[in-house]
Amino acid sequence: MTDDRPLVLSLPAPRTLELIFSPEALAKLHRRYEVHEAATLADVPDAALARARYLLGQPPVTEDALARMTALRCVFNVEGNLLDNMPYPRLFERGIHVVTTAQVFALPVAEIGLALALDLLREVTEADLAFREGREVWGLEGNRAARLLSGAEVGMIGYGELGRALHRLLQGFRPRLRVFDPWLPASVIAEAGAEPADLDTVLRQSDVVFVVAAVTSENQRFLGAPAFASMRPGAAFILLSRADVVDFDALIDAVAAGHLRAASDVFPEEPMPRDHRVRGLRGFLRSAHRAGALDLAFRRMGDMVLEDMELLDRGLPPQRCKRAERETVARMRSKPVSAN
Amino acid sequence: MTDDRPLVLSLPAPRTLELIFSPEALAKLHRRYEVHEAATLADVPDAALARARYLLGQPPVTEDALARMTALRCVFNVEGNLLDNMPYPRLFERGIHVVTTAQVFALPVAEIGLALALDLLREVTEADLAFREGREVWGLEGNRAARLLSGAEVGMIGYGELGRALHRLLQGFRPRLRVFDPWLPASVIAEAGAEPADLDTVLRQSDVVFVVAAVTSENQRFLGAPAFASMRPGAAFILLSRADVVDFDALIDAVAAGHLRAASDVFPEEPMPRDHRVRGLRGFLRSAHRAGALDLAFRRMGDMVLEDMELLDRGLPPQRCKRAERETVARMRSKPVSAN
Amino acid sequence: MTDDRPLVLSLPAPRTLELIFSPEALAKLHRRYEVHEAATLADVPDAALARARYLLGQPPVTEDALARMTALRCVFNVEGNLLDNMPYPRLFERGIHVVTTAQVFALPVAEIGLALALDLLREVTEADLAFREGREVWGLEGNRAARLLSGAEVGMIGYGELGRALHRLLQGFRPRLRVFDPWLPASVIAEAGAEPADLDTVLRQSDVVFVVAAVTSENQRFLGAPAFASMRPGAAFILLSRADVVDFDALIDAVAAGHLRAASDVFPEEPMPRDHRVRGLRGFLRSAHRAGALDLAFRRMGDMVLEDMELLDRGLPPQRCKRAERETVARMRSKPVSAN
Amino acid sequence: MTDDRPLVLSLPAPRTLELIFSPEALAKLHRRYEVHEAATLADVPDAALARARYLLGQPPVTEDALARMTALRCVFNVEGNLLDNMPYPRLFERGIHVVTTAQVFALPVAEIGLALALDLLREVTEADLAFREGREVWGLEGNRAARLLSGAEVGMIGYGELGRALHRLLQGFRPRLRVFDPWLPASVIAEAGAEPADLDTVLRQSDVVFVVAAVTSENQRFLGAPAFASMRPGAAFILLSRADVVDFDALIDAVAAGHLRAASDVFPEEPMPRDHRVRGLRGFLRSAHRAGALDLAFRRMGDMVLEDMELLDRGLPPQRCKRAERETVARMRSKPVSAN
């Protein structure tokens, strides 16, 4: 007896369906679709490959397997990183969408990004520590280095989902926001209410710089010692996307020298060595890749997937998840997600 | 030889003119006005009293001295606290304005208030400390208690300048904001985009509560153990205005019991005793009355004073500083400012 | 038998209680207060004068009558215009509030103000008329004089309740807004997100000028031929407050000459003479003092009055209605309201 | 001698390069690219076809011609309508982008859309006409049918570029906005600050309905007599996209019967017959397809084209113009643009 529900191939490892779907959403998925779970595509019988309308996850896909998936409409990547493990050109040729759900992390990361920036400007963590230890300084005297975010000159490197989420959170501060994003036309940035700028201007003219750019084949370690040296003394540098876009040692040197304050949620090694000098570095605020990893964020992935499946079922293009682009998919260089 | 510039009596202690005026503003003050500085009104000669158009500061004023100040148009209180050391009824009767410049603190306090809230929701300080000590937890596992401010239910107790400044900063988070302020009509709160609510509702229905109410003869310690018990488990309580509105011991108990997280910029004694239990309290974020005391904030006072003097010189009412009200001036119960 | 409800003296003519209170609000008024209605204060017995806590309306008040009203806390002016028919200095001396409900008109006037501006920029009325008569011009050819409001330079003369309401409606257009208001400090205008400017700059640099200033003893006919001549050719001039602030003939001349487009809701005579040249004037959009006079606006008055009475009953100052100012009450020069 | 600038094939008829490029932009186009102008693709020599990186315009393209255009990266459609005159499946297979510049019209149309809505709510045009003819009614009496947009329930049918632009203009009015758009997931609409709703709810629950949906093979005449009958008496219906989505006769009937007020910028025949009953219809506001056709709008097209060409030159995907979608391109049913 055949099932006339469309078939979803589910290989979301290292995620699990339970992580990315709420119980209600998972029930809906099973109600609407036949869900075939597998560890690798090699385990999937030809009949299921032939019927698969959606592939949920980012397993390695061979040309051969893809050729057998004749009904495939969309690959739902629920990791956020695009690995180079599928024949993307063929997917795009066939008009099969490749979409990611990474934007669920934009808001949680943006919120902690703002928290880190305000902490650096007002020394919230340092002041709390001093208070614990009985060496707090009261009032104006304890505030000599404090600055406001309102009206500050803010720079953003990258202006994707995360940058936009952060921009929205910053609205009430009415900052002067300059954005460097070489993948966007200047007018798109301007319409969003920011000033398009080159990298050098963003670095030199900002009191606070947020790095929210994805790491690509072109921007690895593009922020190094000269970049940090060009920044304003005392400026705050907040790294939210991937450690690989900066020369981390140079960043640490700039903070150690007292030139910058910095905060980072990402590190060149995760976890960092137990005795790494960043652990005791004054003027540096540390977050152990906790910015996006909220239960609530993962759970939204399943909702997004279901919304786009519903459009695709009706022959419409997906509008909820973000589509990978033929031109840029091969430039992405994030490391695989090893844990959630 | 007479000076035909209007006369300003300057008694801003414990502030100084240099603290509250930028060099440019101070030059402008002296250019436009004859400035008579004194330590007490008793030191001021009758001729100066008689000519004084403005009183800058909050020195004790006797009925007699006031009677001699026949040209007085406005008292510029640059402390923020209204002491009960002037014959206010007589001032109001004569149509002499009493204005304060306390709103310069609204924005700096609002910014750190948001920082404290985000820190509590994401455990920024705790996570940094753990990282320093090599006991950080990475990713999702380190985030089990983390919550978003976006979309949270937020309560505000008080909705004066500080509450409004905080509300503006919160805009990008699109919170559901409930406000309790018994001195404001419900429709004023609703027009500002918040929901008027009674105190009980604000306490019971909020994930985050900001206390931004001035302390008055009526609300001392009005937030005690029952109030804290009525709050949601795990809710964040951020105290930004004055310690006297809460029963501080009860607050500490609620945090110690794990029922609430809290942050405070104000304390019942400042400085707090060296061995006070709040210093080591987990789940409590401490700031040593540093929220508003920024150089930059004090400097804005002088600009505000000059703008309103200019209106008053033209026979117009002041619009920049905040006016004390006949009805409420006597209810204010903040302690004197002992330092800046 | 005595009534222990506070007493309200009601003399709202030419308004009526039914106009300004919804049935529910009127019921609430009667439930909370003893309402003594009268045609003139002379008709009110001394006992009622002595007990009156609130005066609703703007009847002539003599020094003598005021002296008898020993319990008076607030005069609720429900007209919007402040006539010179009360001993204001004595009221202020005694700390009796004088408040107005005119801000109910701000939003309705702002909405039609924006409608008039957009109509002038896009010739909506002219195009509809042409279409009726079969002489419409389609597409680009019919649009040669059309302009966008988005991104335009907009000027505002006056920045009270009406100006602020209009500013809020304009937000989505992201205009560059310059404001001239001599009663406000520059920094107050700047904080509201507009640029403070002098009158000359506002006139010379705007594509659209809104006049939303109250008429005072100082600004009668302050906008005349030289002002109009200084404006940009083709600029739009929208008059929303009172006709007396402009030299109406000069305005008509500027439109007749093709120099400006204009719209007005107010006229030097209301109604205007049947054969007045403004009736047939091309480039002039006419509204017969309909901007604020909406049922719904009048009905809000009663709600405002009740909200402030409730605060005043509790010994607090009114926060909902707008307070007349000791300094400016005597400068107001609007004509009496003859009809609603 | 060869030209090593990339080649642009220019066939923008019925537009012209001068209409869509400002002089500066046109100079830049010629500086960066070799521009080959032609009336039809058949006129273009094979060598130029082979070198063409961009096709500017929407001429008929045969399979054969496309096969010869081996370097083609993008088709820039500068009409706004997608005709069925190219082998779209082949274009998408080859990864050639098809983009449109129609969003230049979004803002001008949104502005006049708001103008039309406000006019209907306040009877601006009717009142001006009455004034011209000496039959105006002053004040409250002239306003019995007037309503506010602020706080009204607003419905939108379609939520593409135009819907979003209109939504932004409406922000200051704080409407309750319900959106019906079957091509978008509900959460996308919700994140934009509107309520996703089905068509029936939008029709039944709105005081003002804006139709901003493109016409497709599925929605022709989908708004007919039953739809209009389900709307609130006195509701305002504003048609901004294409006449074909409504049964125009039924719309006219609903207005003639006094059930609705309506405004339209588009008509089933353009121009409409001289004696069509819509010309004299009371309660109907007419605009002769003038909403988007502003010089300024056309001129932005060239800027958009240049920005995306610059990205495409660098091997990046276009981000400025709107991409046609493989799934929906064949569903579009707008008529060809016959004039500008």
CA distance linking residue B184 with residue B194, whole number of Å: 12
Q: Does D332 touch chain A (CB under 8 A)?
A: no
> How confident is the model over D61-99, as pLDDT tens digits?
999 999 999 999 999 999 878 888 999 999 999 999 999
Q: Touching check for C218 and chain B: CB below 8 Å?
A: no
Vertex D155: Cα angle to D151 and D158 (nearest 5): 140
Give the pair of three-digit tokens for residue D43.
Answer: 């006129």
**Residue D229 identity:** A
Taking phi over 0 as left and psi of -120 to 50 as alpha, with beta for the rest, D40 belongs to beta
What would the pLDDT profile of A191-246 be if each residue is shown by its tens digit?
Answer: 999 999 999 999 999 999 999 998 787 888 899 999 999 999 999 999 999 999 99
Provide mean pLDDT across the span B118-129. 98
**Which helix (H) or strand (E) is D91 found in, with range?**
helix D88-93
CA dihedral for D182, D179, D289, D172, sign (positive or negative): negative
Cβ neighbours of D138 in C, within 8 Å: 270-271, 288-290, 339
Strands B176-180 and C322-323: unpaired
pLDDT given for residue C340 in this prediction: 46
A126-135: burial string, b at 16+ Cβ within 10 Å, e else: bbbbbbbeee
| Chain D residue with the nearest C-alpha to that of A182 | D311
Whether residue B290 and residue A172 make contact (CB cut-off 8 A), yes or no, is no
Structure tokens at B230: 């009525």
Determine the pLDDT at residue D336.
54
Substitution target in A15, A81, A125 with the highest count of B β-carbons within 10 Å is: A125
pLDDT at D80: 77
Tokens of D262: 């309506």
Q: How confident is the model at residue D3 (pLDDT cuts 50, 70, 90)?
A: confident
Q: Hey, which bits of C219-306 come out as E strands? A: 236-239, 261-264, 284-286
A335: contact with B, CB 8 A cutoff = no
Contact of C288 with C11, CB cutoff 8 Å: no
Given pLDDT bands bounded at 50, 70 and 90, which one contains residue D142?
confident
CB D25 within 8 A of CB D50: no
- Is pLDDT of D257 > 70? yes
Q: Which of B111, B129, B171 sits opposite A148 (nearest CB)?
A: B111
Quick count: other Cβ atoms within 10 Å of Cβ A248?
22
Contact D287 C131 (CB under 8 A): yes
Q: Tell me, what amino acid is at D140?
A: L
* Mean pLDDT for the stretch of residues A234-262: 97
Give the neighbor-by-neighbor strand order of the sheet with A34-37: A34-37, A7-11, A52-57, A74-77, A97-100, A322-323
Full pLDDT tens readout for chain C, 340 residues = 467 899 999 999 999 999 999 999 999 999 999 999 999 999 999 999 999 999 999 999 999 999 999 999 999 999 878 888 999 999 999 999 999 999 999 999 999 999 999 999 999 999 999 999 999 999 989 888 899 999 999 999 999 999 999 999 999 999 999 999 999 999 999 999 999 999 999 999 999 999 999 878 788 889 999 999 999 999 999 999 999 999 999 999 999 999 999 999 999 999 999 999 999 999 999 999 999 989 999 999 999 999 999 999 999 999 999 999 999 887 876 655 444 4
3-class secondary structure, D106: helix
- Say yes or no for a CB contact (<8 Å) between C148 and D124: no
SS3 content of chain A, % helix, strand, coil (to 5): 40, 15, 40
Residue found under tokens 């098809």: D98
Instruction: Say if CB D97 and CB D323 are below 8 A apart.
Output: yes
* CA-to-CA dists, residue B102 to B80, B241, B319, angstroms: 4, 12, 14
CB B116 within 8 A of CB B105: no
Q: For B271, which residue in chain A has the nearest alpha carbon?
A: A138
Which conformational region is residue D208 in: left (phi greater than 0), alpha (psi within -120 to 50 degrees), or beta? beta
Confidence of residue A339 (pLDDT cuts 50, 70, 90): very low
Quote the tokens at residue D137: 């009614």
Counting residues of chain A whose pLDDT is more than 90, the rounded percentage is 88
The confidence score (pLDDT) of residue D340 equals 47
Which residue's entry shows tokens 């403004």? Answer: C278
- How far apart (Å, rounded) are the C-alpha atoms in residues C28 and C22? 10
Please report the pLDDT score of residue A331 as a whole number.
Answer: 80
Q: Which residues contact A152 (CB under 8 A, 6 or more apart)?
A: A121, A173, A175, A176, A207, A208
Q: In A33-160, which ranges are continuous DSSP H helix?
A: 46-51, 63-68, 88-93, 106-122, 124-132
DSSP string, C152-185: -EEEEE--SHHHHHHHHHHGGG--EEEEE-TTS-
Distance of CA C12 to the CA centre of its chain: 18
pLDDT for the residue numbered B86 = 95
Q: Which of residues 39-98 of A touch D (CB under 8 A)?
A: 92-95
| Interchain pair D327, A310: CB under 8 A | no
What is the rounded CA–CA span in Å between residue A308 and residue A314?
10
Distance from CA of A104 to the nearest CA of B (A): 12
Vertex B23: Cα angle to B17 and B26 (nearest 5): 50
d(CA A218, CA A87): 21
| Distance (Å, whole) CA A94 – CA B281 | 60
Given a contact cutoff of 8 angstroms between Cβ atoms, the answer to whether A305 and A63 are in contact is no
D296 has pLDDT over 50: yes
Concatenated DSSP letters of D153-184: EEEEE--SHHHHHHHHHHGGG--EEEEE-TTS
CB C250 within 8 A of CB C225: yes
Domains of chain B, start order: 7-101+295-331 (3.40.50.720), 105-286 (3.40.50.720)
Question: Rounded mean pLDDT of chain B?
Answer: 95
The ipTM value here is: 0.95
Put simply, whether D113 touches C (Cβ < 8 Å) is: no
Residues B122 and B103: their CA atoms lie apart, in Å, by 29
Specify the pLDDT at position B2. 61
Q: Tell me the per-residue pLDDT of D270-283, one tens digit each, with 9 for 90 and over.
A: 999 999 999 999 99
Structure tokens at D308: 């995306």
Which of these, A302, A194, A198, A206, lies nearest to A260 by C-alpha position? A206
State both tokens at C138.
């389609």
Q: Which pair of structure tokens corresponds to residue A131?
A: 């208070």
- Bridge partners (DSSP) of residue A100 are A77, A322
pLDDT of A177 strictly over 80: yes
Percent of chain D's residues with pLDDT above 90: 88
Looking at chain D, which subunits does it touch, using at least 3 CB pairs closer than 8 Å as the criterion? Answer: A, C
pLDDT surpasses 70 at A134: yes
Contact yes or no for A229/A259 (Cβ under 8 A): yes
Structure tokens given for D314: 């660098």
Q: Do B320 and C187 touch (CB under 8 A)?
A: yes
C-alpha span between A302 and A18 (Å, rounded) = 9
pLDDT, tens only, B160-176? 999 999 999 999 999 99
pLDDT of residue B333: 63
Mean pLDDT of B267-277: 96
Q: Which of B33, B52, B32 is nearest to B44 (CA)?
A: B52
Measured between beta carbons, the chain A residues lying within 8 angstroms of B122 are: 111-112, 115, 290
Is residue B336's pLDDT more than 70?
no
* Sequential DSSP letters for B188-246: HHHHTTSEE--HHHHHHT-SEEEE-PPPBTTTTT-B-HHHHHHSPTT-EEEE-S-GGGB
CA–chain centroid gap for C268, Å, is: 16
Contact B118 A115 (CB under 8 A): yes
Cis peptide before D14 (omega within 30 of 0): yes
Cα D85 from Cα D254, distance rounded (Å) = 38
pLDDT given for residue C335 in this prediction: 58
Mean per-residue pLDDT, B45-65: 97
- Whole-angstrom distance, CA of residue A235 vs CA of residue A262: 8
Interface of B with A in 267-326 (CB under 8 A): 270-271, 274, 279-280, 285-290, 293-296, 298
Note which residues in 222-251 of chain A have CB less than 8 A from chain B.
none
Higher pLDDT pick, D119 / B334: D119
The residue among C290, B89, B174 whose CA lies nearest residue D119 is C290
B67: confidence class by pLDDT, cuts 50, 70, 90: very high
What's the rounded Cα separation, in Å, for the pair D127 and C44?
A: 43
CA–CA gap between residue C6 and residue B71 (Å, rounded): 38
**Res C2: pLDDT:** 61
